[in-house]
Amino acid sequence: MLIYCWLLLALHPSIASDEEIVFFPSLAKQSAEGTWQAQVHGWIFEPEFDSRTRRALAASLRKALGDLTDSEARLFEERMRWFLVDNERGKRITILLGEHQFTLDKSDASGHFHGEMTLPEKSPDSFAAVTSPRDTRLFRGRLHRVSDGGWAVVSDIDDTIKISGVLDKRELLINTFCRPFAPTPGLAEIYRQWAARDASFFYVSASPWQLYPDLAEFIRSNRFPLGVFFLRPLRVKDRTFYHFLFEDKIAYKRERILNLYRDFPTKKFLLVGDSGEKDPEVYGEIAARYPKRTLAILIRQVREKPDPDRLSDLAKRVAPIPVVVFREHEELAGFDPLQSTPSKD
């Protein structure tokens, strides 16, 4: 049987030599019976940069950005390469987890693939894609085990933990594509303090999955706690590109976060975002729906002219759940999310 599998991989490899895989942090949830259910998510693509459509899009964006320094132009080329790849549809990836193999669902038009499985006892948290015997490359992934109960941090990224300039669209594009990602001062240390108190972390952002490799490096290099990412799908070749631009971000973030509340029915959540776009409205709606399970709402004030009525309305809507508005991390000194006392559902 092993010889047959080896020959099958040699003759019909699921990952061609010119294809690559990125595994996203994959969530593993503990069931009521105590078993772990894993949801593996990845992306298979060919790093092909000669597509006219994709190159035209890159050129159009480059022109819209205006004058760039040499370093900004180089970083633009590096980050845009994730948007210029050739996504591979219909691929079935097999992963090796410990001594067990699992074959995932076929990849879709965006090259993304998923798979759910019950983890064997004492299985490791790391896994790798099974490649052909002659392919020495290693595509690794990692499971993030999150049990029910306890607490978790749901964090936005842009202008919450990363300075992006969302209110200025050109500045946002420059910061996203042309400059090293800059952390919001002091928040990584605060997040690490929460992690030391057994908080799990979910990073929920309206950014596209193509930015994940750079965002993952940003999280790692700035020592933010590792966690599961929820980003938005984007294909530059079809209508999903326009859907991405004009999609209701409120609905997107609301549904992702509500799914977390449903997936972990006894866990409590700390919601952290900013005032730049719609985080106060999204978080307010969720907290009003789940008052007993929302520890607090933290909003980083990024507008030069604050809108006090907007945030006071949020505080009234979710009272007595604490709403903390801050500009600098020092303003969070003394705040203890586990000392808040949400009302009953």
Say what the pLDDT of residue 224 is: 99
Per-residue model confidence (pLDDT) at position 53: 67
Of residues 171 and 48, the one with the higher pLDDT is 171
pLDDT at 50 (0 to 100): 61
Mean pLDDT of the chain: 90
Round to whole Å and give the CA distance between 151 and 147. Answer: 10
Tell me: domain 151-335, CATH 3.40.50.1000, correct?
Answer: yes
Please indicate whether residue 102 or residue 5 has the higher confidence score (pLDDT): 102
Q: Which residues contact 242 (CB under 8 A, 6 or more apart)?
A: none
Distance separating alpha carbons of residues 251 and 249, to the nearest angstrom: 5
CA 300/CA 325 separation, integer angstroms: 6
Find the DSSP H helices in the chain: 2-11, 52-65, 70-80, 169-177, 187-195, 212-221, 240-246, 249-263, 279-289, 308-318
Give the pLDDT mean for 335-340: 88
Closest to 96 in 3D by CA, of 173, 157, 5: 5
The answer, yes or no, to whether residue 339 has pLDDT greater than 70, is yes
Backbone angles phi, psi at 10, to 5 degrees: -65, -40
How far are the Cα atoms of 43, 183, 240, 329 from residue 333, in angstroms, in the given order? 40, 18, 43, 7
Give the residue among 251, 258, 254, 211 at the shortest CA–CA distance from 231: 211
pLDDT at 338 exceeding the cut of 50: yes
At the topology level, CATH places domain 2-47+87-146 in Immunoglobulin-like (2.60.40)
* CB-based burial, 47-77: b 16+ in 10 Å, e otherwise: eeeeeeebeebbeeebeebeebeeeeeebbe
Query: Is the confidence at residue 340, as pLDDT, over 90?
Result: no
Do residues 39 and 116 make contact, with C-beta atoms less than 8 angstroms apart? Answer: yes
Sequence length of the chain is 345
- Domain extent listing, the chain: 2-47+87-146, 52-83, 151-335
Q: Where are the beta strands (DSSP E) in 82-224?
A: 86-87, 94-97, 100-103, 112-118, 126-129, 140-146, 151-155, 162-163, 182-183, 200-208
CB of 270 closer than 8 Å to CB of 295: yes
What percent of the chain shows pLDDT beyond 90? 73
> What is the predicted pLDDT for the residue at 12?
44
pLDDT for position 242: 52
Q: Which has more pLDDT, 77 or 239?
A: 77
Asked if the model's pLDDT at residue 10 lies above 60, the reply is no
Q: Which two tokens stand for residue 60?
A: 């159009």
pLDDT tens string 34-60: 899 999 999 999 997 666 766 777 777
Span 122-146, pLDDT tens digits = 899 999 999 999 999 999 999 999 9
